[in-house]
Amino acid sequence: MTHILLAAALFTPAATVFAAPIDDAAPFPTRAKAAAADIPAPARTDKTPQALASTRTSPTLSDRALGLAAGVNRFLSPALALDLPAEAIGTPVAEDSKVKTVLQKALALLGTPYRWGGADPDKGFDCSGLVGYVFRNALGIELPRVSRDMARSGELVTDRAKLAAGDLVFFGRKGRVNHVGIYVGDGRFVHAPSRGKDVTVSSLDQGYWSGRFLQARRVSADGT
């Protein structure tokens, strides 16, 4: 029952009000505030045995993300089951096995908290930090650090209907890219949305992101 509720929460259409994503590609005007927001809350002074035991057994963020992904994957669309042939999900990084590696790495990070400038599963990710981490660790590909520069990498996918799993999808306003995610199939993509939210799967076709999609790019096996 917990897994069903969790999956429902992830894939329920977004509310009409959605916090705008942090623009990882722009000069950040409130860096001091961002740093302050990243400082953990002061530790509780409760020293009861129960509290100490809870502290000792608390999982890392990466453990939490892996546990969340395990519970969610059963409810994802067939395109995300990672056992379909190449022609079923496309081959954006040269081979079906490499596509699967990218998707597995990305989905294993579901639930990791957003952190501006973050590129570490145990500390958090911003949108381009997540994408860069996945491609670096899955395929050894080094992508540009920020989304606007990633949007110049790879091959432009001009037909949205031909998006394939593993493609990079870019969002923004007035033609200016400020957000990136990884397409996973079935009109969905995995990304790190904004401060206060976790790495999640969202829809390209409805909700906040549907009106902000700008373009998609297909990265080859050599990162070009």
SS3 content of the chain, % helix, strand, coil (to 5): 40, 15, 45
Catalytic residue among 98, 191, 217, 218: 191
Please tell me the number of Cα atoms within 13 Å of 68 on its side-chain side: 24
* Torsion sign, CA atoms 202, 35, 143, 215: positive
Which among 75, 76, 21 is positioned nearest to 209, based on CA atoms? 21
The answer to whether residue 3 is catalytic is no
Catalytic residue among 179, 188, 217, 218: 179
State CA 12 to chain mean position distance: 17
Pairing of strands 119-120, 168-173: unpaired
The answer to whether residue 127 is catalytic is yes
Catalytic residue among 127, 134, 165, 192: 127
Please identify which residue in the block is written with the tokens 């079935």: 186
The catalytic site residues sit at 127, 179, 191
